[in-house]
Amino acid sequence: MVGSRHEAPQINDDDVFHTRNLEQTLQELQGIVKEHEDALNKLRAAPMGRGGRSLPATAPFDIMKAAYDELASTTPYLPFPDSVLPALVALRRTHQTVEETKAYLLTHNESVEDTKRELEVAKADFSNQQVLAHSLRGRIQSLEDGLETRMEMGPDDIAREKIDELKQKKARYDRETSKLLKSLRKFIDNHLAGMLAAEELGGPVVGDMMDVDEQDLVAGFNSQGRVKTAKAKPEGDKRQRRIDEIWGPRDGEGQGRSGEGHDRDEITAASREMRDLTELLLNNLSQSEGDSSAAYVHLPKESAAARFLVRAKVAQFHPKDSSKLRLIDFGRDLDD
């Protein structure tokens, strides 16, 4: 059996040509390096001057001038036509440029992101400005149309239009006032009346005891303002007399209606008193026509309702007569 033999690798002609070019280029570079080394050795071996003296001060400039003159008269070095040196130099320069570009992009990524965000903000602002400009143009056009229409109208038409506008405003204000009064009455009946009744019966002031029920009011309060422990409910007549003494009898009672009308409790009586007081204060303020002295209401006695309005900074007593109370005219400053 014949043993296997390793076949020699075949050498491509292109590889041989490339290798020969590299060797030739290397030889050229080595020759140039050798020439420069010989020139440097000659300069080192040259004497410093006649008699061992140092060279003159202009010697470096003379050497530089001679070198420049020699270079100017010498044909510059150029590689042979088939040399790979230009390709290597171009490749190195291209690689250096690519690396510098990558580094530049990495260092400017944050700047690019910031610029993009600023661009988005500028686009949004521009869009808002366009919308605002469109609205302003529409408003200007409507005003111009209205002005032209009013110029065509006579004095009577303008007066009639103004009267209609004022009537519409008055109707709107009346609706809003009615809505506010309903909300006020609902607040008084559902939340405030119980706390007012508790304060009137000797309990805590309004706001200190939020949950007040009828049983607490029936039991009453001790000197510390706490709910008494009721062993038995007071008789109906005694309770009604207490309600009448504190809040006064109901309108129409005692006119041949014996037994009727005595169905009030403390919360209902306190609610009625608060509603009557606020209604009277509002009426006096609206009828005073800016005269603060005419807006006062005479109080037959100081009550929890009056004290609550003063603490809430809604009303104030007369500076010289504590039996007079009036609402604070918040709208007067706006009118002025």
| pLDDT range class, residue 208, cuts 50, 70, 90 | low
Residue 77 and residue 188: Cα distance in Å, rounded?
109
Model confidence over 221-240: pLDDT tens digits?
655 556 666 554 555 555 56
* Sequence ranges of the domains in the chain: 170-251+264-335
Residue 265 and residue 297: Cα distance in Å, rounded?
26
- Token output for 320: 């010289």
Q: What is the pTM of this model?
A: 0.45
Per-residue pLDDT for 49 more than 60? no
DSSP annotation string for 148-161: HHHHHS-HHHHHHH
Model confidence over 19-47: pLDDT tens digits?
887 788 788 888 888 888 887 787 777 66
Vertex 277 angle, CA 273 and 279, to 5°: 120
